[in-house]
């Protein structure tokens, strides 16, 4: 048995030893929300380190996890970005393929429920957002009885959403009688997962409805790709539409779009950092342990990413929309790298 483990270890070592010769650029995949931050760090690293600029691809959190957990070797990425924590089934996939990883929290973000600056800004609750998005509601939303049979969501305007939420015991928001049209990320996106976990499930629960993350499929909710910039373009072109994306894209496009006030809380730096905003969330990246020290420049790149000069309050990622961790939290992320 020990001999078998020895042979397996030699095979793994031999495979990893060939990595440095087969690939001299760091490969990064994953979240479209984290993508801009990883790209900024990669470009600065390529300009100053003497190593090649890492290749960063926006595959979505779920797509990145699938690639990352596929195995060890040059054909698999070294790092995956994520706008939510790794799921148990993804961690199991990593383990099954011999992939050990280090989890790093890069900073904080918030989900923007956004529309064009040319449109009316909304002040609404998570229950309003959840009701507009939900796949099913009691009697499709055409009732004031919580115990009515659940049917496909039949609400077509924001005024109808407001009326239903009020009937279910929620607060009235005086929403306009305008059509519901909301662009959301695809199922592979961590932002889509966060939308369900932070807005849809709690929004339904707070008015006494069955918790669910399922979204309607009648054309009122429009599934987009991993390109958040495209959502911005469509919001500008059609002021009647809403879109869901990360805070950094809102910050970069304040001259075009605005964020709704949710539960009476504005989407801004302070409310994300304090987690007073209901859509606040951490952002992550995951590092393949076996590739550290093998792929050229990998540890140097990671140290750059978690440094105070990058993700600190005065760091160069702050102007790009990354909400920094506390000093203590930043130190704990740096310690994870120092221990490897």
Query: Is residue 265 assigned to a domain?
Result: yes
- Our CA angle for 52, 57, 58, nearest 5°, is 150
Upper half-sphere CA count for residue 206 (Cβ side, 13 Å): 19
Most distant pair of Cα atoms in the chain: their distance: 73
Q: Is 218 left (phi over 0), alpha (psi -120 to 50) or beta?
A: alpha
pLDDT tens-place string over residues 106-118: 999 999 999 999 9
So what's the pLDDT on residue 224? 92
Whether residues 211 and 272 share a domain: the answer is yes
Which parts of the chain fold into alpha helices (H)?
2-17, 19-22, 35-48, 61-68, 88-96, 126-133, 158-167, 190-194, 201-205, 228-237, 247-252, 269-273, 298-305, 308-311, 327-338
- Residue 247 in this model has a pLDDT that exceeds 70: yes
The number of domains in the chain is 2
Query: Confidence class of residue 228 from pLDDT cuts 50, 70 and 90?
Result: confident
Spatial separation of the C-alpha atoms in residues 190 and 32, rounded to whole Å: 9
Whether residues 120 and 134 share a domain: the answer is yes
- Residue 15 in this model has a pLDDT that exceeds 80: no
So what's the pLDDT on residue 21? 54
Spatial separation of the C-alpha atoms in residues 303 and 301, rounded to whole Å: 5
Query: Is residue 27 assigned to a domain?
Result: yes
Whether residues 265 and 299 share a domain: the answer is no
Query: Is residue 5 assigned to a domain?
Result: no
Burial of 194 (C-beta count, 10 Å sphere; 0-12/13-18/19+):
buried
Query: Confidence class of residue 20 from pLDDT cuts 50, 70 and 90?
Result: very low
pLDDT tens-place string over residues 265-324: 999 999 999 999 999 999 999 999 999 999 999 999 999 999 989 998 889 999 999 999
Query: Confidence class of residue 84 from pLDDT cuts 50, 70 and 90?
Result: very high
- Among positive and negative, which fits the CA dihedral 167, 169, 170, 174? positive
Query: Is residue 8 assigned to a domain?
Result: no
Whether residues 160 and 172 share a domain: the answer is yes
Query: Confidence class of residue 155 from pLDDT cuts 50, 70 and 90?
Result: very high
Whether residues 103 and 193 share a domain: the answer is no
| DSSP for residue 179 | B
Spatial separation of the C-alpha atoms in residues 159 and 225, rounded to whole Å: 29
Whether residues 162 and 296 share a domain: the answer is no
Mean pLDDT of the chain: 92
Whether residues 78 and 38 share a domain: the answer is yes
Average pLDDT over residues 166-178: 97
So what's the pLDDT on residue 79? 98
Greater confidence, 82 or 334?
82
Query: Is residue 11 assigned to a domain?
Result: no
Upper half-sphere CA count for residue 40 (Cβ side, 13 Å): 18
Any idea what the CATH number is for the domain that residue 25 is in?
3.40.190.10
Greater confidence, 216 or 338?
216
Query: Is residue 7 assigned to a domain?
Result: no
Whether residues 301 and 228 share a domain: the answer is no
Query: Confidence class of residue 337 from pLDDT cuts 50, 70 and 90?
Result: confident
Domain with 140, as residue range(s), is 110-280
The residue out of 242, 264, 280 marking a domain boundary is 280
Query: Confidence class of residue 229 from pLDDT cuts 50, 70 and 90?
Result: confident
Whether residues 288 and 192 share a domain: the answer is no
Least confident of 14-28, 260-274, 318-332: 14-28
Query: Is residue 9 assigned to a domain?
Result: no
Whether residues 192 and 274 share a domain: the answer is yes
Give the pair of three-digit tokens for residue 232: 């911005």
Query: Is residue 189 assigned to a domain?
Result: yes
- Residue 4 in this model has a pLDDT that exceeds 60: no
Average pLDDT over residues 232-246: 96
- Report which of 57, 75, 15, 101 is spatially closest to residue 302, judged by C-alpha positions: 101
Query: Confidence class of residue 253 from pLDDT cuts 50, 70 and 90?
Result: very high
Whether residues 260 and 127 share a domain: the answer is yes
- Residue 49 in this model has a pLDDT that exceeds 80: yes
Whether residues 307 and 208 share a domain: the answer is no
pLDDT tens-place string over residues 135-148: 999 999 999 999 99
Instruction: Please give the share of the chain, as a percent, with pLDDT higher than 90.
Output: 85
287 in Cβ contact with 79 (< 8 Å)? yes
pTM score of the predicted model? 0.88
R_g of the chain, CA atoms, integer Å: 22
The residue out of 244, 265, 280 marking a domain boundary is 280
- Residue 239 in this model has a pLDDT that exceeds 60: yes
25 in Cβ contact with 55 (< 8 Å)? yes
């Amino acid at each position: 048995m020990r001999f078998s483990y020895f042979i397996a270890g030699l095979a793994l070592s031999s495979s990893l030893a060939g990595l440095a010769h087969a690939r001299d650029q760091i490969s990064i995949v994953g979240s479209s929300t984290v993508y801009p931050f990883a790209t900024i760090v990669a470009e600065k690293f390529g300009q100053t380190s003497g190593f090649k600029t890492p290749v960063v691809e926006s595959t979505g959190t779920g797509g990145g996890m699938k690639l990352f957990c596929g195995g060890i070797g040059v054909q698999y990425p070294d790092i995956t970005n994520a706008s939510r924590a790794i799921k148990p089934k993804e961690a199991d996939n990593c383990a099954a393929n011999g992939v050990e990883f280090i989890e790093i929290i890069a900073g904080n973000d918030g989900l923007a429920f956004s529309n064009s600056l040319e449109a009316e800004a909304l002040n609404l609750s998570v229950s309003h957002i959840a009701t507009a998005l939900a796949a099913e509601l009691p009697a499709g939303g055409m009732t004031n009885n919580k115990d009515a049979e659940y049917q496909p969501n039949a609400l077509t305007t924001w005024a109808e959403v407001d009326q239903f939420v009020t009937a279910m015991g929620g607060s009235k928001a005086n929403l306009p009688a305008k059509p519901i049209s909301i662009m959301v990320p695809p199922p592979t996106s961590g932002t889509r997962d966060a939308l369900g976990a932070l807005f849809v499930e709690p929004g339904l629960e707070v008015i006494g409805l069955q918790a669910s993350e399922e979204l309607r499929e009648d054309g009122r909710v429009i599934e987009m790709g991993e390109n958040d910039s495209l959502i911005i373009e469509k919001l500008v072109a059609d002021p009647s539409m809403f879109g869901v994306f990360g805070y950094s894209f809102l910050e970069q496009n304040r001259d075009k779009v605005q964020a709704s006030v949710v539960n009476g809380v504005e989407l801004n730096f302070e409310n994300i950092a304090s987690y007073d905003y209901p859509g606040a969330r951490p952002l992550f990246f995951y590092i393949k342990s076996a590739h550290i020290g093998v792929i050229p420049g990998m540890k140097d790149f990671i140290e750059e990413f978690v440094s105070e000069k990058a993700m600190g309050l005065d760091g160069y990622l702050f102007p790009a929309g990354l909400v920094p961790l506390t000093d203590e939290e930043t130190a704990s992320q740096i310690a994870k790298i120092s221990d490897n």
